[in-house]
A and B are shown apart, each in its own frame.
Chain A
């Protein structure tokens, strides 16, 4: 395994070097940074030209310039090196400085987008594969064709112009009317009924329950003024924990033997108690504390699963950890929403942001700032992930359908395994393998997408920096963009390769 990783590293480094060289030449070719100055006739322009030529190294031939750039850029690899130098912009700023903020905000965007797209896409893909030729399947197929045919920039502008404004207007006086609740209820009913399937009676029952639950919840929430000051509270957290325990047990272990269920429920109970007990700690924790708490939750869940799992220890541990993660996320959202009132006032009610990555001069503590980031992430992420969700779901669907037809799935059934085990352990586990390859490609695609999304939403990330640099004929920041995206692509490719090797034992040996 180690040799495999090392070999991949060497190849990747080579590809990255060649890629940056190609990009460097292209960027150098793309325009003359001095063009504007040359047309200038003001006195002293000669000096400025000379100064810029010197600063950007313009009198060195391109290949040599690349080597010099590479030489100083490679110092960035040394950890904590102060010398990290990616050149200067035409305006004389250090590119490393410009890059600092840009990288982190783009990474935020890309990470959130990747995870959301993957989770949503894979779930949709599995459900549509299992319900092949159902209405849900046709509807999602149609939707995904539509998504991949939608110009991202156009959609982003639409989001910005309509969704943001309308949503903010609605949030000023958030009530759900009866017809609106009914319509949403029907949609939810259709989706659930189609996803659950079964005979006609079951379809109607699922539709009825989903319709009543959705529409009812909307109306109750609206009447109680929840949308004006949203929050979950300990009760909802507990209910979500219990539901997660039941759902994950059904998915991963089934109810035939009770050990797993008990472990999962116990984990949910511990989570609910800890949520109350740690109220003080959770009111304004540092980011490090948050990560620590998540790890603690996972550790406790593992322990509970181990202790209560009995003969199904492995599944019990998996299920408990799943419950713990879901509960942690719920508590996270709960706490973030607690900052709602404060934040609402701070932004004059325009909660859904369309400009930049954070509200200038706003400091609402840990939760307030997180909420601020979340509201800024909302629209760019939606715009960015449409294509990815469509791709993941199509790919997963095709992969699952292919796998479900394999002989070994038939073998698994012939052993008398439950349909759940056949799908989770045999089909999904194999269907996952090609998806890892897609992940690597998709991240590169998202980077490209970020260029557009960041431009539309004025998100101060690398894409924005890149477009600005290209317009200003500013080679070094543009190069920094290629360096970072190239690195990211290479890293994700490697992660995908490793995931592939981990998932597919046939690869491990070679």
Chain B
């Protein structure tokens, strides 16, 4: 466990400057004004870039089921979100909450056994209804993906250059030489030294961090509109993580892409994302501006997540306060709120009715909780979890 330092926005959302005074008032579906350069300073040293007015991606009521021997795994159960040009949307949630599955559905990368319902629109076009070739021409060209483990995500038998050039050549007919030149540029952009000679290297000759850079280069090589980054730094050294994220933001701006950033690390989201979507048991349970969600969580699960990060402000309780218990089985979901077995605020209604995702007290901030107003009534929502676990000691 790394000890957080005061000036490390990756680690502690609360250490950030005067956030909240000027929330980026971008409701889920209606983009409004852009932030000026002067406002960027207080958003942490990575800086948040502009959010465009154009809506790129709209996912509505997405469901994904996997029939298995033991029953139907309901991995995603009605997720909706939208993404604007240039925006960074963070998706957080425990392992198995459906983050990867919901984003892979967007690219059509799920195994054949998956049953997908709902609608996914890219620039208004229905992705799920598209022909195979049309879907393929989106993949890697308009929407690119960065995967978690750079060790296994690259083909060990082809050179880095070939794998990058291939991404270009599959969408555009051009001489290999030119594609290689593009690959070289992309490698240079992500900060790989001597990109020309590195084109001929194989993935195993790269370090983990370099490979992830190469993966980023592969994702941006066609200047996509959307990059989906699925835990891009989880497999990396802590020291490399920051560099990679910084690079990601830098190249995102260079090619003008929006990012869906999937992560376990709330600190990363706090420093980089305009908005956050919290997932639990296959559903979105809270969506809103990053600062809104982090300072005014309206769903106990989110509060619990925040409570499990080491906090500087709460010096007195420097221990971790994890959420007790395990997420429910996705095969036999209990009735009612899926979080109710672990929730300190749970009442009878929670065990009977699954709460819908509804607006809360602030603009563009929605949460799925029967008792969100109770959270609104306290200063530090994470305290619910603290008092619980402290009491049990």
Contacts and interface: CB of A to CB of B under 8 A. Distances in A.
Instruction: Please say whether the chains A and B touch (CB closer than 8 A).
Output: yes
Interface of A: 257, 311-312, 314, 406-408, 410-418, 421, 425-426, 429-430, 433, 503-506
A411 B155 contact: yes
A506 B147 contact: no
B167 A408 contact: no
Interface in B88-140: 107, 109, 136-140
Contacts of B314: none
B329 interface: no
Most A Cβ at <10 Å: residue of B149, B154, B156, B157: B157
Contacts of B218: 411, 415
Given A414-B109, A416-B139, A506-B156, 6 more contacts: A411-B145, A411-B153, A415-B166, A417-B170, A505-B202, A506-B202
B157 A430 contact: yes
A415 B170 contact: yes
A111 B334 CA distance: 63
Contacts, number: 84
Interface in B335-390: none
A407 B149 contact: yes
Contact of B109 (A406, A410, A425, A430): A410
12 contacts: A407-B149, A407-B153, A408-B153, A408-B155, A408-B156, A410-B153, A411-B154, A416-B138, A430-B156, A503-B157, A504-B157, A505-B156
B326 interface: no
Contacts of B147: 407, 410-411, 414
Contacts of B176: 311, 314
Given A410-B147, A505-B202, A506-B204, A417 B166 contact: yes
A351 B139 CA distance: 57
A60 B147 CA distance: 70
Interface in B67-83: none
B18 interface: no
A503 B157 CA distance: 7
Contact of A257 (B138, B141, B167, B173): B173
Q: Looking at chain B's contact residues, is the secondary structure mostly helix, strand, loop, or mixed?
A: loop
Contacts of B166: 412, 415, 417, 421, 425
A494 B43 CA distance: 61
Contacts of B138: 416
Contacts of A503: 157
Contacts of A506: 156, 202, 204
Contacts of A413: 107, 109, 139
B152 interface: yes
B127 to A, nearest CB: 13
Interface residues of B, number: 31
Q: Looking at chain A's contact residues, is the secondary structure mostly helix, strand, loop, or mixed?
A: helix
Given A311-B173, A506-B204, A414 B145 contact: yes
Given A311-B173, A311-B175, A430 B155 contact: yes
A418 B137 CA distance: 9
A406 B157 CA distance: 13
Most B Cβ at <10 Å: residue of A312, A408, A415: A415
A196 to B, nearest CB: 16
Contact of A415 (B140, B173, B202): B140
A411 B176 CA distance: 20
B174 interface: yes
A202 B142 CA distance: 31
A99 to B, nearest CB: 41
B171 interface: yes
A416 B140 contact: yes
A407 B148 CA distance: 10
Contacts of A406: 152
Nearest to A414: B145
Given A257-B173, A418-B136, A412 B157 contact: no
A505 B157 contact: yes
B189 interface: no
A314 B176 CA distance: 10
Contact of B139 (A312, A415, A421, A429): A415
A47 B154 CA distance: 75
Given A421-B170, A430-B156, A506-B156, A416 B137 contact: yes
Interface in B33-78: none
Nearest to B152: A407
A338 to B, nearest CB: 44
A504 B156 contact: yes
Contact of B155 (A257, A314, A416, A426): A426
B111 to A, nearest CB: 9
B303 to A, nearest CB: 34
Contact of B167 (A415, A430, A505): A415
A403 to B, nearest CB: 10
A249 to B, nearest CB: 15
B144 interface: yes
Contact of B157 (A414, A415, A418, A429): A429
A408 B154 contact: yes
A461 B6 CA distance: 82
Nearest to B215: A411
Interface string B145-189: 101010011111110000000110011011110000000000000
A262 to B, nearest CB: 14
Nearest to A427: B155
A314 B171 CA distance: 18
A416 B173 CA distance: 14
A414 B144 contact: yes
Contacts of A416: 136-141, 167, 170-171
A314 B218 CA distance: 22
Contacts of A425: 158, 166
Contacts of B157: 429-430, 433, 503-505
A406 B136 CA distance: 19
Contacts of B139: 413-416
Contacts of A412: 155, 166
A410 B148 CA distance: 12
A411 B171 CA distance: 15
